[in-house]
Amino acid sequence: MGWRTKAKIQHKKQAKRLFFKIIISGVIGFLLWYVWGYTKPRNFPINHVKIFATYEHVEQQSLQKAIDSYLNNGFFYLNVISMRQQLLKLPWVYEASVQRKWPDTVVVNIIEQKPILQWGKNALVNPEGVVFAPPISTFPQGLPIIFGPEERELEIFTLYKKMQLLFEPLDLTVKQLILSPQHHWEILLSNNAVVYLKEAEPLSQLELLVNLYRKITADREKEPKSIDLRYNSGLAVKWE
């Protein structure tokens, strides 16, 4: 077989391979075009939205507005990740999940923030010690208040919980815990007594106070106005 014959055979094989590639590419292209057209939003609109929320603090109108902006994309093109991220930006939303349910439904579950403390005047604290800032007008009334430098939020939150446990035997609770700019702790108790502590080792100072408290108040009809433990030795008590 001459070299010209071999070249012709090789050329035919290449032509066949090219032909099959063109056919396969055409079929794939057609299928993609068909699927794209078939799954257009107008063919699979979202007709139902189910929202599960307690609406204790989250406003239904705010939720609906955040959700509605995504619904025109249709069932297949709905960006559930982006919708969830948008819902998490709402100030009272702690967690959110978004699911598509065939053939035309979106299911949204909302878990609200549960504030247990107020951080200063402008924010709240959830049970995990995370500070969040919804509109002040929506703050629950009567929450205990803690405050201090922002970089010490978690430390102050943890200290507050430990102080609550220390005061339990005295049937007292902490209404307010503040780390003052003057570097001392100010504690307002449920009996309206104010306790002052040095910044360093506040728990050891409180343990001393708890052990002495009943002796300090034993012969008194009224509760103390303030108790100051910032002295190097002893403490000072003021009475009503």
Sign of the torsion formed by the C-alpha atoms of 85, 86, 91 and 95: negative
Give the Cα separation of 166 and 173 in Å (integer).
9
Tens of pLDDT, residue by residue over 6-61, are 555 555 556 566 556 666 665 554 444 444 444 455 668 999 999 999 999 999 99
Q: What is the mean pLDDT of residues 69-75?
A: 90
Give the Cα separation of 101 and 81 in Å (integer).
15
Q: What percent of the chain has pLDDT over 70?
A: 82
Neighbours of 239 (CB within 10 A): 12
pLDDT score for 16: 62
pLDDT score for 13: 57
pTM: 0.80
Starting at the edge strand found earlier in the chain, the sheet holding 48-52 runs 48-52, 105-112, 93-101
For tokens 């699911």, name the residue.
99
Q: What is the mean pLDDT of residues 84-92?
A: 96
Give the Cα separation of 179 and 158 in Å (integer).
13
Tens of pLDDT, residue by residue over 113-128, are 999 999 999 999 999 9
